Each structure stands twice: as C-alpha cells, then as structure tokens.
Amino acid sequence: MTASRPEVIPLPHQWRFAVVIALVITLLCLFQGNLDSNEAGKLALARQAVDPTWIPGDWYLNNPQSYQWLFQQLAGRAVWALGFPAGSLVVRLLGYAVWSWGLAALARRLQLPLAGAALVALLFGLGQSAAAGEWMVGGAEPKTFAYGAVLLAYVAWSERRWWASGVWSGLACSFHILVGGYGVLALVALTAWA
C-alpha cells in the first residue's frame, strides 16, 4: 500500500492567504521600531553599497559586506531614491510580502484554514523571540527576506521540487547567511530522516 500525497490547496487560495497574512503583519509591525539601531545600520550599509560617494570616509560604512550584496542592492536603491524613513517602510513591505508568501505557501501545504494562517501571522507579529531576541518578521533587514525564502524552500522540498528548493535555499543564504545556512542544514537533516 502506497501513501498518497495530501491534497494541496489551490494556488489562488495561496494569494488570498498571503494578502491576509501581509495585512496582519503590516498592521502589527510596520511602524514598530522604525529605523531602530540594527535597521538603521543595515540600511546605512545598503545606501553606501549603492552610492560609495555618500559619506566616503566612514570606516564602518566602507567595510565590505559582500555577503549581504543582494539585500544591499535592493534596500540601498530604495533608501537612495526615497530617503531613510520612506525607504525603510518600502523595504519592510517588500520583506513582509516575501515572508507572507512563504507562510501562505506553508499554510497551503499544511492545509490550514485562512483563519489559522491569520492566527499564525498574528502570533508572529505580537512576539517572536522566546529566548535570544531573534525574530522572523519585523524590521527592514535581510533576515525577513531570508526567512521567507526558507519557508518557500521547505514547501518546495515537501512537494519534491528539488530544484526550486535549492533556489530558495540559495536565496535565503544570499540574504542572510546564518538564516539560510541553518535552513539548509535543517533541510539536509529532513532529507536524511525521510
């Protein structure tokens, strides 16, 4: 007797889930801690990466951070074009969109109802750090994008779409090496266990 694969919720429902999740997270997190110390540092590095003439003599800003190149290109252009407050909000919204799409894909895969997915988003938005002060979704930082990519990698892995899982894992590592690296290690462990 072979085990059948669970039926997956259709893709149009995933869009609906992603919109609801994004709205919940946006309402809870968008203006919380805007341009706090870590976010301000990441955005300043991103701005410097796309415009080296901006504060050219600063030692910290001119320290190469090539492991964050993808985030710096995205966030740096937003901050350069819009300024720090508006650029921060735009980068946050883009990060929320990626993370919401990842959580919606996971909810679709696990066959959670829309209310369940919204509750998960609400719980993540209210408080995410149990011990170390870490979070998945919050500021305009690389880890929000990385966690969204990790969620998408897990979903692709569970659907046996190996190539897509590899691409999402690579993107997660490109945005945040620790988040992506631990995500890849978890996928390796899942593969060995399965």
Phi, psi of 61 (to 5 degrees): -70, -25
50, burial (CB in 10 Å: exposed 0-12, middle 13-18, buried 19+): middle
- Provide the whole-model pTM: 0.86
Per-residue pLDDT of the chain (194 residues; tens, 9 = 90+): 444 555 555 666 788 888 888 888 888 877 777 667 688 889 999 999 999 999 988 888 888 788 888 999 999 999 999 999 999 999 999 999 999 999 999 998 998 888 888 888 887 766 665 555 667 787 888 999 999 999 999 999 999 999 999 999 999 999 999 999 999 999 999 889 87
- Report the chain's C-alpha Rg in angstroms: 18
Contact 159, 187 (CB under 8 A): no
DSSP conformation class of 133: -
- The dihedral sign for the CA sequence 102, 122, 5, 188: positive
Q: Is the separation of the CB atoms in 33 and 4 below 8 Å?
A: no
